[in-house]
Structure 1
Amino acid sequence: MTTGKIVVLGSLNMDLSIRVPRLPRPGETVAGTEMVRGTGGKGANQALAARRLGAQVALVGVVGADQFGAELRDDLAASGVDVSGVAVASEVATGVALIVVDPDGENMITISPGANATLTAPDLRAQLDGAHALLLQLEVPVDACRVAADAARSAGVPVVLNAAPLPDHPSDDLAELIRGSDVLVVNETEATGLAGGAASANDAARILRDLGVPEVVVTLGEHGAIAADRTGVTHVPAFSVDAVDAVGAGDAFCAEFALARTAGGADLATATRRACAAGGLAASRPGAAASLPHRDEVDRLFGAPTYDSAEVTIHAT
């Protein structure tokens, strides 16, 4: 079992989810199932995912002084996540995500950031002690991520940045945060957007790597992922699963990647392949937090005899 300590700085949302027979068009109302409430936000999801994968996890973020905030802190603490770094803001509400999911697993998500938007410059010294990685996302202010990344670098802790959701207008501050990260994880749309509209995910990965990020991972959903470093660009295939809900799959991917690459000492391609297993398992189940896999499940899928190492293709720089 891979163990280690992961510090996650990010958002905490209460997810309000409804399954629908099809996604609504603009202006249309579609009847769905009963609403399901659960822990969400990319920060909370990645923290919970890392915990289920065997890591010691400390989460840093902000919730409101309301019922949703109390439930989120209690649920995460009960799962073994250290929430001592989750502040409570009395003047704003806890973040909320409204999610609709169709039978094929496609989803539409609207977020009210609430307290997440108030995260400023948390003191991470206590959380970073003994940490193997700092895992960041962009559902909290970029400035807070930059402060956290600076603290991690000063402590010798690798920074893994999941640059999602990507802002409509990426700033110089975001560019600085990306260049200062050890690993950048983005999906294909985010990668091509950051790379100035590159023609392909491969090209985008190369461009982002050449901007100064040591390692770039571009997720491709059912087509796996692309991993780029100074040695070249590697395509890693996905595992075959019956996808029912993509919510949470990216968070499971990021948590397993960070754990395998840092605490586990896996090489870039192997860490990406393990992350594909975690993401695939999450996509095969409904919900966000409820879909996140455990360590033994990832180990079994990763070690399945159907995996052929020849499927991992490496392209020259």
Structure 2
Amino acid sequence: MADVAPRIVVAGSANMDLVGIAARLPLPGETVLGDDFMMTPGGKGANQAIAAARAGGSCTFLGAIGSDAFGVTVKARLNASGVDTSNMRTSYGSSGVAVIMVDHAGENSIMVSPGANSTFAGLSAAETTVIAEGDVLLCQQEIPVETVLAASRAAREGGTRTILNAAPARHLPPELLAVVDLLVVNESEAEAITGSAEPRMAELLALVPRVVLTLSGKGSWYADRDGADERIPAFEVDVVDTTAAGDAFTGALAVAWGEGRDMIDAIRWANAAGAACVRKVGASNALPSRADIDAIYARG
């Protein structure tokens, strides 16, 4: 592994998460009495930036917050977690907001209002330079796809490796897939990309050179065009809340790949990050430290 912390650049969303906890999730049209509530900074981009920083990466976040109190709080959480926000934009108006319901089994239901995230359009010269100077660029799909494409192209031109976490599930333009080095998806996202109800790794590898398919409690499946094809089991822990598990996984994976770990080992370490995350309620506040990840990873 590298002696210097890998430079991770995250281009993505930042939200304030409004989290309600109840015995079960409500059905359509139903009201359920909850037993707890919290507000915590989140958004897939901000979560993955914090996850990468806590996992040991030198992380820079590119994105947009609103001019409201939520934006101030989100930026403060990023800074407190060691994320460089010097290039983050502030847009007049509301920040992104996610309304999250969590049941006692740890399952959740999420509605996201993009707010300022929808204004993160195009890239400045400074943002392009930040990406080109990174080791790994990490993107998701809660910002305009045009910005994801511009960031991925800047990474390709600068020699920076790109991870696309294609969440939430939506159409991916071919020109974006052409500049992605590693695609991270769950089963529903894989279905949205391929149109196949069952995950077919060959279909994904026809689009990108490397794929990690996350399988929730079953672990992860990795394959690439060089012939690798391996299932990496999950670590067993007591699940409290699965809200940011995928973000913990992806942020840690970016760090491990940036450190030069073998991909299978990198995914196993990222699985440990996801397992460490689900033991706590919330999003950014539940993302694990490197020590937490290593403790679970050491179980073998």
Superposed displacement of residue 76, structure 1: 1.1
Trace 1:150-189 onto structure 2 (pairs within 5 A): 150-167=153-170, 170=171, 173=173, 175-189=174-188
What TM-score, normalized by structure 2, do the two folds share? 0.95
Superposed displacement of residue 78, structure 1: 2.1
Trace 1:276-291 onto structure 2 (pairs within 5 A): 276-291=271-286
Superposed displacement of residue 81, structure 1: 0.9
Task: State the one-letter code of the partner of 2:98.
Answer: A
Query: After the TM superposition, which parts of structure 1 deviate over 3 Å for at least 4 consecutive aligned residues?
Result: none
Partner of 1:266: 261
What TM-score, normalized by structure 1, do the two folds share? 0.90
Count of aligned residue pairs for this structure pair: 295
Tell me, yes or no, if the aligned pair for 1:206 and 1:233 is still in contact at 8 Å.
no
Is 1:292 the counterpart of 2:287 in the alignment? Answer: yes
Is 1:143 the counterpart of 2:146 in the alignment? Answer: yes
2:23 counterpart SS class = coil
Partner of 2:236: 240
Distance 1:268 1:229 in 2: 10
Partner of 1:223: 218
Tell me, yes or no, if the aligned pair for 2:133 and 2:158 is still in contact at 8 Å.
no
Deviations 1:134-164 (A, max 9, x none): 0000000100000011111111000000000
Partner of 2:193: 194
**Structure 2: runs of 5+ lacking an equivalent:** none
Distance 1:132 1:21 in 2: 43
Deviations 1:167-206 (A, max 9, x none): 2xx15x3x3212320000000111123122153x3x2x22
CA RMSD after TM alignment: 1.4
Task: State the one-letter code of the partner of 1:275.
Answer: A
Is 1:118 the counterpart of 2:119 in the alignment? Answer: yes
Partner of 1:21: 23
Identical pairs, percent: 43
Task: State the one-letter code of the partner of 2:244.
Answer: G
Distance 2:67 2:12 in 1: 18
Distance 1:189 1:166 in 2: 7
Partner of 1:128: 131
Distance 1:6 1:298 in 2: 18
Distance 1:288-1:187 versus aligned 2 partners, 3 A rule: same
Partner of 1:95: 96
Partner of 2:33: 31
2:51 counterpart SS class = helix
Task: State the one-letter code of the partner of 1:176.
Answer: E
Trace 1:25-104 onto structure 2 (pairs within 5 A): 25-90=27-92, 92-104=93-105
Distance 1:218 1:129 in 2: 27
Distance 1:145 1:197 in 2: 24
**Structure 1: runs of 5+ lacking an equivalent:** 308-317
